[in-house]
Structure 1
C-alpha cells in the first residue's frame, strides 16, 4: 500500500476545492493522479470503481471517489474521502446562498442572472445531448443493433415530463424492468412459481407540511436514489419537486441554483445545498446535501464487496440501461420546460445557443468560463437596454 488514509483524504479535499469541469473531467483527474502519476491504485481497481459508479445510482465522480476510499480503507476511507470531496463545494454554495439572499433584490444581481440563466440552458442542453448519445446511442433504424427500445423509453420520458411537469418514478422503474425482462430476464422470471409480486404504491412521499426538514430530507433522498451517471440527471426531479410541487423556489431561482452548481468545483449535484439553504437556511442545506449523497454512499459500501459478481449479472445491467435511458429523457424534458421560461427574448436565445456551441467547438472553454462571460453580458445588455 503506497499511500495513507491521510494522503487520500487530502487529495480529495484538494480535488473538491479545485476540480472544475463536471463528472467526466473529475474522473479523468482521478485516473491521471491516482493511477498514472502516484500509482496508488491499479488500472483494474480504477476500472472496477468506474464501472460500479456507472452501474449504481449516484453522481459519477462522487461515487468513484467514495469507492476509491473504500478500496484499501473500507468504511472509514469511504466516509472520509466522500466528505473531503463534497465539503469544499458545499461550503462554497452556502456562501453563495447567503450572498444570493442578500443581493438578489438588487438590479445588478438580477442582470447577472439574466445572462447566467440563459447560459445554463445552453450548458444543460449540450450535456443532455452528450448523455443521450453516450447512454442511448445514435438512432439508426436501418441497423439491427439499434436500441429502439431504449429510444422508446427516452422519448416517452421526454413526453411525460413535458406534459405532466413532474417526476415519473413509476415510469422510470417500469422502463428498467421492461428492458431487463426483454434483454436479460432473471432466472426467477423464467419460473412462474418463483415470480415475486411487486406492488407500486405510488410515487408520492406522503403528505407532510411544506418547508419542514423532514419533507426536505425525504424529497432529496428520493431524488438522490435516481441519479445515474451525471449529476445533471437530478435536474428533472429537482425541478418537479422544488418548483412545481412544493413551490419552494421560483422558476428563476431554480435556474440560478443550477448556475451556482456550474461555477463551483466538485460534483454538480451540490446544487442541492444551495436549494436547501434558500428553503431552510443552514439546516436545510445540510439535510438536502446529506439526503442526496446518502444513497450514493450506501450503494457503494454495500455493493463494493460483491461488485465483481453483481457487475457480471446481465439482468442488473439491463435494468440500469433501461432506467438510464428514461432518466436522460426526463432530463431533456426538463430542459425544454425550463427553456420555455428562461429564454424570454432574442438576447437570451443568442446567449443560450452561443454557450452550447462554445462548449462543443472549443476544448479550452469550460462551464465556469461560459457562466462568467454570460454574467458580464447580462449586465451589459441590461445597462444598454
Structure 2
C-alpha cells in the first residue's frame, strides 16, 4: 500500500485549484482529464473510483459537469468553503478572459484584422463542433433505440423547431419508461448520465473511508448552502423582472436562468438553442457572431458554457440604450455568468449528500442515457446551423405546414470560408491535431488572407 500523502489545507488546495483552472482548456473532456491527472495521479487526493463516482453524479445534473465536478470534490475535501474555492477558481480565468475579449470585439470587431481573425476561427469551430457530434455519438449511440432517439431529436429541432427543453423532457421520459418496461437498449449504460456502479478503490488515498463518512456528516451544512445559493440566484432575477420588466437585463436574467435548469448534455447541446434564440428571438447577435463567441470560449480556459457571457454582453451592449454601452455590456455579461453558475453551486450542495441514492436508480440512469442520445441530434443540428452560416452568405426559410427550417442559397457560397472549413476538418479528423493548434492555425490563416487583400 502506498503511503498516504499529507492532507492538504484549504490554502494548499486553493493553489492546486488555481493551477487546474489555468490549464482548463479543451472543453469538458480536456478539463476532466486535467483534474484526473492532477488530483488522482499527481496528488493522490482521491482514487479512480471516487473520481468516477463524483463524475457520474455531476453528469446527472444540468450545467457544466467539469465545473460541478471541481465544486463537488472541493466540497468533499473542505466542505462548503472548499466547494466555493474550487468552483469559483475554476470559472474565474474564463470570466476575465471572455470579458476582455468581449470588450475588444465590441470596440474593434469591425476592424479588418480582428474580423479576419474571427473569420478563421469560425471554420475551426465548425470542425470542432462536428468532432463533438462524432465523439458523443460513438459514446451514446450504442444500440438501435438510442440511434432512433438521436435521429428523432435532430428532425424535431431542425425541421419542426421543437424547443430544446421539450426534446430533453420527452427523451428522458422515453428512457425512463423503456427501463421500467424492461425494453432492450434502455439500461442506462454509457454516455452522459451513465451511472453504472463504480468501485471505491481509494482506501489508501486521502478521500477514503474518512471522507466518505464526511458526506454524511455535512448534510445540514450542504443543505443550508444550497438554499443560500438558490436565494442568491433567484432574488436578482425576481428584482429585475419586477423593477425593470421591459429591460434587456430582465430578458437576460430570465432566459439564462431557464438555461441553467435545462443544460443537460453539455454546452454543445444547449448552444443550438442559444444561437437560435439570441439571433432570431432577441436579436442580440448576428448569426456569425455566435461562432465568434464560441471561438473565444474554445481558446480561453474555463467551461465552454462561458460563451453565454459573450452573448449577454453583446445583448446588453446593443439593447440597453445607455450612453455607456460598454458598461451596460459588462453588466449584462456578468449577470449572465451569475445566473448561469449560481444554480450549479445549488445543485451540488443540495444533491451531493444523496449521490449514492441517485446513482443507484436504474430508471433515472436510463432516462439520462436517452437524454444523451437526444443531445447527439441537437448537436448535429448545431453543426448544420453553423455550417449554413459560415459557408453560405445567404439563407432562406422553407415553410410548409409544421415544417420550418433555414436552408442555404446555393449560389451564395463563400469559397474562402468553405476552403478554410475543409482544411480545419482535415486537421481535426485526418491529422488529429489538437484543438489549440487547429484554432490558432485557422485564425492565422484568416489574418494572412486579410493581409493578402482577399477578405
TM-score normalised by L of structure 1: 0.86
Separation of aligned partners in 1, 2:69 and 2:436:
23
1:315 aligns with 2:363: yes
Match of 1:253 in 2: 289
The answer to whether structure 1 residue 354 and structure 2 residue 423 are counterparts is yes
1:126 aligned to 2:136?
no
* Equivalent residue, structure 2, for 1:194: none
| Shift in Å, 1:164 | 4.2
C-alpha contact (below 8 Å) 1:13/1:88 kept by paired residues: no
Q: Tell me the equivalent position of 2:332.
A: 284
The answer to whether the 8 Å contact 2:25/2:300 transfers is yes
Query: d(CA) in 1 for partners of 2:265 and 2:158?
Result: 22
Rounded Cα–Cα distance in structure 2 between residues aligned with 1:233 and 1:123:
13
Distance 1:233 1:16 in 2: 23
Deviation readout 1:164-214 (Å, 9 max, x if unpaired): 45633222201111221112369xxxxxxxxxxxxxxxxxxx9x9665222
Runs of 4+ aligned structure 1 residues displaced above 6 Å come to: none
Closer, same or farther: CA 213–44 of 1 in aligned 2, 3 Å: same
Q: How many residues were matched structurally?
A: 356
Q: For the residues of structure 2 that align with 1:184 and 1:11, how far apart are their CA atoms? A: 43
User: How far apart are the structure 2 equivalents of 1:378 and 1:298?
Assistant: 42
Contact 2:140–2:373 (CA under 8 A) maintained in structure 1: yes
Matched residue SS, 1:53: helix
Q: Which residue of 2 aligns with 1:198?
A: none
Equivalence for 1:377: 445
Conserved? CA contact 2:23–2:34, under 8 Å:
no
Q: For the structure 1 residues 73 and 226, does the alpha-carbon distance in structure 2 shift closer, same or farther, using more than 3 Å as the test?
A: same
Q: Does 1:327 align with 2:396?
A: no
- Among 302, 306, 312, the alignment partner of 2:354 is 306
Structure 2 residue matching 1:58: 3-state secondary structure: coil
Aligned equivalents of 1:122, 1:372: Cα separation in 2: 13
Q: Give the 3 Å change call, closer, same or farther, for CA 210–8 of structure 1 in structure 2.
A: farther
- 1:3 matched to 2:8: yes
What is the distance in 2 between the residues matched to 1:21 and 1:248? 26
Aligned to 2:401: none
Q: Is the 8 A contact 1:225 1:292 kept in 2?
A: no
Q: In the aligned structure 1, how far is the partner of 2:30 from the partner of 2:164? A: 30
Q: Secondary structure at the match of 2:110?
A: coil
Could you tell me which residue of structure 2 aligns to residue 174 of structure 1? Answer: 170
Q: Which residue of the other structure, out of 144, 151, 156, is the alignment partner of 2:147?
A: 151
Return the alpha-carbon distance in structure 1 between the equivalents of residues 351 and 430 of structure 2: 39
Query: Which of 23, 41, 46 in structure 2 is aligned with 1:36?
Result: 41
Distance 1:342 1:171 in 2: 26
TM superposition shift of 1:296: 2.6
Deviation at 1:161, TM superposition (A): 1.9
CA separation of 1:268 and 1:210: change in aligned 2, threshold 3 A: farther
Does 2:108 match 1:108? no
* 1:5–1:185 distance in 2 versus 1, CA, 3 Å: farther
Root-mean-square deviation (CA, aligned residues, Å) is 2.2
Q: Which moved more, 1:160-169 or 1:256-265?
A: 160-169
5+ unaligned residues in a row in structure 1: which ranges? 138-145, 187-205
- 1:242-286 CA-partner distances (Å, limit 9, x unpaired): 112111111011110111101101211111112222222111111
1:46-57 superposed matches below 5 A = 46-57=51-62
Q: What is the match of residue 157 of structure 2?
A: 161
Moved more, 253-262 or 39-48: 39-48
Task: State the Cα distance separating 1:331 from its structure 2 match.
Answer: 1.6
1:166–1:241 CA contact under 8 A, matched in 2: no
SS at match of 1:228: coil
Are residues 254 and 316 of structure 1, via their aligned partners in 2, closer, same or farther at CA, if it must alter by over 3 Å?
same
1:68 aligns to 2:68 (yes or no): no
- Using the size of structure 2 for normalisation, the TM-score is 0.74
2:364 and 2:264 mapped to 1: Cα distance?
A: 14
* Aligned partners of 1:157 and 1:326 also within 8 Å: yes
> CA separation in 2, counterparts of 1:291 and 1:237?
17
The 2-side partners of 1:18 and 1:178 are apart by 38
In 2, Cα distance between equivalents of 1:357 and 1:381: 19
Shift of 1:297: 2.2
Corresponding residue number in structure 2 for 1:189: none
The answer to whether structure 1 residue 227 and structure 2 residue 296 are counterparts is: no
